[in-house]
Structure 1
């Protein structure tokens, strides 16, 4: 019988719990109208929506799917990060995804959800796996790349869209994943000795 060696240290478990609690509280307090990415209102000066929209959801199913994503990432990659790095990543990737949607996705008028930045976090984790020679790193990275390619080819899932009461913003997945690659650049500077002494 095998046992899971879960990363249960406080340093590993606290950040995803805090992120989950924040997302749950924002949903319970029904702050979507105030915090969602709303292109017209952002253009009128409500710039906080670029970031705040990343942490709110259309409904409880949408939130539940992203909480599963947080759990999955914790199981896979908690030991790669620290509390400060975790929160730095979720803020930087939140800004990156929001700004990317604003600049490159003019057809997206309203957006909510963690999925864009979560794609960035899992891509960073896969690249960290590769840097540390974890055997599953390449497979995970290729799996995410294949998922993103399929989404861009086939379009958003209508079934998931019905569950979350919104079109799945596959563009945010790609933008977030690119952000994860950008965040991983220093890992490979270290790996190949390109960092300045």
Structure 2
């Protein structure tokens, strides 16, 4: 039987990405117990606690914040069409988290502290939209890309003071979303270039 990209990857994607989503669903609530040791805090990073550049993306301001990000992660897992291996997907998370932390450090020096997976999550959604473009899934790609870019623009226009900010009890650091999306764009461009080279 002939299989196309539409016929095959659904269960494989769920197997890879849903596994990672399950691990994060268990891991992130546990990391809340180490919130103070993992939070992105500029002064402590300057003092040598450089791991906070990455771990700030793994802790949250409260459990509403955590629940919203895990819900978004599961939505991503269920709509993702590109079948990366679990290691490739973890690599994407690490790369985007690095971009978020480095962006805050070098370009948003006014941000003293940051917590949340949303910067990584926005990047992963953007990357999913780019992968859908590569697969010529135009409608779904347009929905994801317009949604994630529109939400980022909305947060910027409101200065981070949105309903989400009320729930998480902190302003939305939309710059982290932008850095996550910019990091994902670098990964996505390489995907599109590889696709364009295929006959």
Fold in common (TM above 0.5): yes
Supply the distance in 1 between the matched residues of 2:13 and 2:85 (Cα, whole angstroms): 13
3-state DSSP of counterpart to 1:22: helix
The answer to whether the 8 A contact 1:156-1:169 is kept is yes
Structure 1 gap ranges (5+): none
Shift of the alpha carbon at 1:150? Answer: 2.2
Asked whether 1:169 is paired with 2:164, we answer no
Deviation larger for 118-127 or 79-88: 79-88
Deviations 1:133-162 (A, max 9, x none): 113112321222222222222221343222
Supply the distance in 2 between the matched residues of 1:46 and 1:79 (Cα, whole angstroms): 36
Supply the distance in 2 between the matched residues of 1:123 and 1:68 (Cα, whole angstroms): 16
What corresponds to 1:83 in structure 2? 86
Asked whether 1:143 is paired with 2:150, we answer no
Supply the distance in 2 between the matched residues of 1:8 and 1:182 (Cα, whole angstroms): 22
RMSD: 1.9
Asked whether 1:21 is paired with 2:42, we answer no
Deviation larger for 18-27 or 97-106: 18-27
The answer to whether the 8 A contact 1:101-1:108 is kept is yes
Matches within 5 A, 1:97-112: 97-112=100-115
What corresponds to 2:182 in structure 1? 178
Structure 1 residues 177, 8: closer, same or farther in 2, change over 3 A? closer
Deviations 1:99-129 (A, max 9, x none): 1011111111010110000000010000000
Structure 2 gap ranges (5+): 1-9
Asked whether 1:122 is paired with 2:125, we answer yes
Asked whether 1:59 is paired with 2:65, we answer no
Supply the distance in 2 between the matched residues of 1:129 and 1:68 (Cα, whole angstroms): 21
The answer to whether the 8 A contact 1:160-1:168 is kept is yes
The answer to whether the 8 A contact 2:81-2:132 is kept is no
Supply the distance in 1 between the matched residues of 2:145 and 2:152 (Cα, whole angstroms): 11
The answer to whether the 8 A contact 2:39-2:59 is kept is yes
